[in-house]
Structure 1
Amino acid sequence: MSKPPYVIEKGQTGFELELIQQLLAAMGKAPEFIFIPYGRSEKMLALPDIDAVMTVNEKIFPNSHHLSKSYISYENVAISMKKNAISLNSVAELANYSIAAFQLAHKALGQEFSTAVTNSSTYIQVADQEKQVELLLLGRVDIVIMDTKIFLHFFNKLNKQNQQNKTLKQSDIQIHHIFPLSPYQVAFKSSKDVELFNNALIAFKKSNKYQNLVEKYNF
């Protein structure tokens, strides 16, 4: 499913999607993308017509022989409304709040996070990340867990659409940097494709095409 500005299903654009397209083209492959809820990612590689799965890590696919090198990092954070005066100094403190996270967050963000949200009064994982932002703005949850760029994209979109929220500013939002950067990889069905992808990644990051892509999406 769409995760602007990383993956935009309409038109098949976005920084991450276009990066993957370029890397696979360098491998001599023409990708056909299938857009699914993130929660289904770990099951997809077992399907006969799927060759690879994007935006995963060793916590989702433990078999490291089928994982590429990291090609992108997300800045996953905890986000609250500043008016609620929530102070977060550690992942463990999330147990004190109601939370909406992205699918598979309990795996992607590690054991400390998984333990904390198990003890939370309310913890839900949402397939549509725009809904996460809506839940926060409506006061249905205290905190959302998501990437900063994805949050700001949907926050700005909802502000334009919703007159009630139009007075909100980014300064009304509190971002809690309690997680390290989340590097993501591609899981390939064929281990041969892993080596080809890694080599293409090294070469592409040295190219002008990569710099153009970074500038296009302000990464």
Structure 2
Amino acid sequence: MNFRGALTVNTRWIALVFFFLSVNALAEPKTNDIEVAVGWSKPPYVNSADNSGFELDLARHVFAKMGYTFKPIYVPYGRSLSMLKNQKVQAVLTVSDTADVSGISLSDVYIEYQNVAVTLQARDIKLHQPKDLQQYVISAYQTASKNLGQEFALATQKAPLYVELPDQQKQVAMLLNGNVSVVIMDVNIFAHLQALIEPSNQLTPVTVHNLFAPNHYRVGFLNEELRNRFNQALLEVQESAALEELVHKYSMYRDDTLLN
């Protein structure tokens, strides 16, 4: 019998078992704190200045039901998944279905972002589908032309002027000042930024055009058991009064408030 060959195979098998056990152990929080990678501020979803926001508070509620204290770790969005894969955190928020999630266990959808077109009510602009935008001056968030579908991308090519800006507050100001006809951004981010620019009792009336499908986001885990427990706790929060309280606290738009 070749004992040397058998020993080599067994040693590799044992090493492989210990590798998977170690990954699972590292992915499981060792204390009541759970460190979660979160993208930088995008109020009203995430405000890193005071650890507040609809998305953060929702995650905080869910993890609390699991028995954990939620500890957000703020990083550029592009680094959050690599931090999870390198076991620097136990979870990551705002994971898109289109991201590279090999080796990651994804939760059920816990939040939706809703990109919309916003126009000044006084201009009485009618928009029913993305191609209707092609006759207007448009300002959008960065990468909008790449991720809002082919029909929108074609409309931006035909528009008199189309610009993508990293500063979304500037986008809102351009609309309110009449420098653009349409802005494209998440409906809740728009409402938050308009409230920063204008007094609450003097908000310029706008029309919200719901032209795009919502973006669904999940929480990523390395530990599958954690993922399963998160899903159960999420369901409990969604069925409780806590979710509605958060919606009112942050004045979040709901589907039935979107205008066509």
Does TM-score exceed 0.5, indicating one fold?
yes
CA deviation string 1:147-201 (max 9, x = no partner): 22321222122113xxxxx996442x23212123333222334444432321221
Between stretches 57-66 and 24-33, larger displacement belongs to: 57-66
Q: Distance in 2 between matches of 1:75 and 1:132?
A: 17
Identity, % of aligned positions: 35
Structure 2, unpaired ranges of 5+: 1-39, 253-260
Where 1:92 maps in the other structure, the secondary structure is helix
1:50-100 CA distance string (max 9 Å, x none): 444323421345659633211122332101224444332211233443433
Compare CA radii of gyration and give the structure with the larger one: 2
Aligned to 1:44: 80
Amino acid at match of 1:217: Y
Answer yes or no: is the 8 Å Cα contact 2:143–2:164 preserved in 1: no
Q: Which TM-score applies when normalising by structure 1?
A: 0.75
Instruction: Say whether 1:113 aligns with 2:143.
Output: no
Q: How many residues align?
A: 209
Residue of structure 2 equivalent to 1:13: 52
Structure-2 separation of matches of 1:146 and 1:69: 24
The two structures, once aligned, show a CA RMSD in angstroms of: 3.2
User: Which residue, out of 108, 122, 128, partners 2:162?
Assistant: 122
Q: Does 1:25 align with 2:58?
A: no
Deviates more, 1:75-84 or 1:58-67: 58-67
For the residue of structure 2 that corresponds to 1:46, the secondary structure is helix
Mapped to 1, the partners of 2:134 and 2:79 lie a distance apart of 29
CA distance, structure 2, for counterparts of residue 130 and residue 2 of structure 1: 13
Query: Structure 1: any 5+ residue segments left out of the alignment?
Result: 161-165
* TM-score (normalizing by structure 2): 0.65
Shift of the 170–56 alpha-carbon distance from structure 1 to 2, 3 Å rule, reads farther
Q: Structure 2: how far apart are the matches of 1:61 and 1:138?
A: 40
Where does 1:104-183 land on structure 2 (aligned, <5 Å)?
Answer: 104-106=143-145, 109-117=148-156, 120=159, 121-126=161-166, 128-160=167-199, 169-171=203-205, 173-183=206-216
SS at match of 1:122: strand
Measure, in 2, the Cα distance between the counterparts of 1:183 and 1:33. Answer: 20
Partner Cα separation in structure 2 for residue 96 and residue 137 of structure 1: 19
2:229 counterpart residue number = 196
Q: Which amino acid aligns with 1:46?
A: S
Per mean C-alpha deviation after superposition, the further-off stretch among 47-56 and 151-160 is 47-56
**Structure with the bigger percentage of strand:** 2
Separation of aligned partners in 1, 2:101 and 2:209: 29
1:209 maps to amino acid:
A
Relative contact order (alpha carbons < 8 A, sep ≥ 6): 1 or 2 greater? 1
Partner of 2:42: 3
Cα offset, 1:212, TM superposition: 3.7
Give how far 1:19 is off: 0.6
